[in-house]
Amino acid sequence: MTKPSPSRFDAIVIGAGFSGLYALHRLRELGVRTLVLEAAEDVGGTWLFNRYPGARCDIESIEYSYSFSDEIQQEWVWTETMPAQPEIEAYLHFVADKLDLRRDIRFNTRVVAMTYDEAAGEWMVQTQSGESLVASFVVAASGILSVPLDPDFPGMETFTGASLFTGHWPKEGFDLSGKRVGVIGTGSTGVQLIPVVAKEAEHLTVFQRSPAYTLPWEVRPFDDGELDELKANYAEIRAAQRQHAVGAARLSAFSVLFDMMAKPPLKAASRQEQLRAIEEGGVMGALSWGDVFFDIEANRMAAKLYGEAVARIVKDPETAASLTPSHPFGCKRPIIDQGYYDTFNRDNVTLVDLRKGPIVEITPTGIRTEQGHHDLDVIIYATGFDAMTGALTRINVHGRDRLSLADFWSSEGPYTYLGIAVAGFPNLFIVQAPGSPSAATNFVAALEQHIEWIGDCIAYLRDNGYRTIEALPDAQHEWIEHTTALVAPTVLVDPSCSSWYNGGNVPGKKRMYMGYTAGIPEYRRRCDEIADAGYTGFKLG
Ligand code: N01
């Protein structure tokens, strides 16, 4: 497509995580001269940085993995039903080596700016070291949860102990034994971290602003021969996964939520039926009702029942009450855990309910809340991410007429067409942008569909003599109306819902539910229909 030169490429891919690695492989297969730029020193993306104790995926390993290569899925050996961070990191190394991807990846290369040259129909990509590269297409595989939201508590810099951040955990690990440790944050990360830290630290104090809804789950090593048997049936497993709305047909944090919707309504259940649900199903039983996701009243009833189920596990009534959420279930991403509530029965664990008085400051010796001071040796911040848009808004992206992507998303909202492209930004493909299924599905299944669609699109343009593709504003508007209409009947739009799903966790971020909730198969059908019709909603030039 472009003349070979050390600084000119057909496509530049930003990021060498799950999406970027597959993008490189796919584009290479299509004969597209591609370079990947990666800020880190190795492949892995978010799985490279989130090395905190307890980090693991909450989707089964055999489904949270690439399906595009039977050779890879047959050769790689998963040791546990749900993979821990080191194994996922090792898997991505294996894939990079197997497909000989590293020769087209520049590590330690952070993209700081991208400008679309309208006359040339190309992107100028600038790196932190001042290098300029040119590409016909940019594929932003920069991740939906790759930018940690570092907190700014007053006095943070005065703390004389160790401050650790789950989103960039020290590679060499950190010995917490004999330490008084404080953890701020009880989302997916905190819920995974807390039971592990409790076993290692002398004392753990959990600073909790919003209690989590979290479902206990057994993660176990595969039995002898079990993985081989699964691999023998991989074709059927992948076929079922492909047809499932969340891209994971086996048990996962998402499929649990999905299965709940098919249950009878809570509002029609007698008190005896409700009690039986928590006797038999524990916290899971409290939430497994068909109306909980759609009816805020039913949701509140479920929250109350959930509190009763928590009180059956957590011995101290005050702690149990503090662990009972006050926000609607479903607003935040579903969480599964290994021994979370039992952790609060340990003698060396204290829960500080920040609803009774927030953090005031970090002091040289610990954390001061309105309720008192806690002396600590280590503070762990598990405070989340500037999700979905954060990675791209930190790059100075300018499209047609010098339109800034960060300004557009912050003033209008995180609008896209198909969750792939943005009007005004020709030849820029965003993997799992707002408006795509990513956030509420198996990320790997969703990204494979995206990469394949993007690859086919670039090949179509090349083969049909087009040089540019750009989303049309009307099509973008209709797509956002469609994605918004899908969530309108759910509790996700309740004003009390605040999470990274809708940007509510980032001060000042424009709020909009950023997922596509009709499921991956329906999304794939729509994307294919658009491509088959010659890319309707896009202008080709
Ligand atoms: O981030 P979060 P996360 N003072 O935003 C609290 C994926 N993931 O890193 O809810 C006090 O969910 C905040 O409180 P609140 C997964 O998609 C997957 O845990 O805003 N507290 C919340 O408790 C997940 O959804 C896996 O009131 C403050 C926490 O910090 C996503 O990553 C594992 C605070 C942040 O929770 C993000 O999860 C891990 C403050 N100033 C992550 N600021 C698996 O695959 C924030 N908080 C299993």
At 340 the pLDDT is 98
Q: Which residues make Cβ contacts (< 8 Å) with residue 344, sequence separation at least 6?
A: 206, 314, 316, 319, 323, 351
Q: Could you tell me the distance, in angstroms and rounded to a whole number, from the CA of residue 241 to the centre of ligand 1?
A: 27
pLDDT at residue 255 greater than cutoff 90:
no
Reported as a single tens digit per residue, the pLDDT across 110-125 is 999 999 999 999 999 9
Q: Sketch the domain layout of the chain as residue ranges.
A: 110-147+386-540, 156-381
At 26 the pLDDT is 98
Query: Does the beta carbon of 383 lie inside 6 Å of ligand 1?
Result: yes
Reported as a single tens digit per residue, the pLDDT across 195-209 is 999 999 999 999 999
> Which residue, judged by its Cα, is nearest atom 3 of ligand 1?
384
At 16 the pLDDT is 98
Question: At 184, is the secondary structure helix, strand, or coil?
Answer: strand
pLDDT at residue 426 greater than cutoff 90:
yes
Reported as a single tens digit per residue, the pLDDT across 488-530 is 999 999 999 999 999 999 999 999 999 999 999 999 999 999 9
Q: Are 535 and 418 in contact (CB under 8 A)?
A: no
Distance from C-alpha of 218 to C-alpha of 201, rounded to nearest angstrom:
23
The preferred substitution site among 165, 338, 361, 505 for testing ligand 1, maximizing ligand atoms within 8 Å of CB, is 505
Mean pLDDT of 176-185: 98
Mean pLDDT of 233-257: 92
Mean pLDDT of 1-21: 87
At 258 the pLDDT is 79
Q: If you average pLDDT over every residue of the chain, what do you get?
A: 96
Which of 1, 33, 20 is CA-nearest to residue 109? Answer: 20
Question: At 305, is the secondary structure helix, strand, or coil?
Answer: helix
Which of 252, 259, 316 is CA-nearest to residue 285? Answer: 259
CATH number (3.30.10.20, 3.40.50.300, 3.30.460.10, 3.50.50.60) of 110-147+386-540 reads 3.50.50.60
pTM: 0.96
Question: At 335, is the secondary structure helix, strand, or coil?
Answer: strand
In this structure, the number of other CB atoms found within 10 A of the CB of residue 142 comes to 26
Reported as a single tens digit per residue, the pLDDT across 303-348 is 999 999 999 999 999 999 999 999 999 999 989 999 999 999 999 9
For residues 272, 277, 282, 287, the Cα torsion angle rounded to the nearest 10 degrees is -120
> Which residue, judged by its Cα, is nearest atom 38 of ligand 1?
188
pLDDT at residue 4 greater than cutoff 80:
no
Q: Could you tell me the distance, in angstroms and rounded to a whole number, from the CA of residue 477 to the centre of ligand 1?
A: 30
High-pLDDT (> 90) share of the chain, %:
95
The preferred substitution site among 50, 153, 189 for testing ligand 1, maximizing ligand atoms within 8 Å of CB, is 189
At 2 the pLDDT is 53
Q: Please provide the DSSP assignment of 106-153 as one string.
A: E-S--EEEEEEETTTTEEEEEETTS-EEEEEEEEE---SS-SB-----
Query: Does the beta carbon of 210 lie inside 6 Å of ligand 1?
Result: yes
At 425 the pLDDT is 98
pLDDT band at 3, cuts 50/70/90? low
Reported as a single tens digit per residue, the pLDDT across 206-231 is 999 999 999 998 899 999 999 999 99
Query: Does the beta carbon of 83 lie inside 6 Å of ligand 1?
Result: no
At 154 the pLDDT is 98
pLDDT at residue 180 greater than cutoff 60:
yes
DSSP H or E run through 71: helix 70-75
Reported as a single tens digit per residue, the pLDDT across 436-467 is 999 889 999 999 999 999 999 999 999 999 99
pLDDT at residue 256 greater than cutoff 90:
no
At 257 the pLDDT is 81
At 441 the pLDDT is 94
Query: Does the beta carbon of 379 lie inside 6 Å of ligand 1?
Result: no
Reported as a single tens digit per residue, the pLDDT across 44-76 is 999 999 999 999 999 999 999 999 999 999 999
pLDDT band at 192, cuts 50/70/90? very high
Distance from C-alpha of 503 to C-alpha of 327, rounded to nearest angstrom:
16
Ligand 1 atom with minimal separation from the 336 CA: 48
Reported as a single tens digit per residue, the pLDDT across 364-400 is 999 999 999 999 999 999 999 999 999 999 999 999 9
Distance from C-alpha of 230 to C-alpha of 370, rounded to nearest angstrom:
53
> Which residue, judged by its Cα, is nearest atom 34 of ligand 1?
383
Mean pLDDT of 430-434: 97
Sole residue written with tokens 């209008």: 412
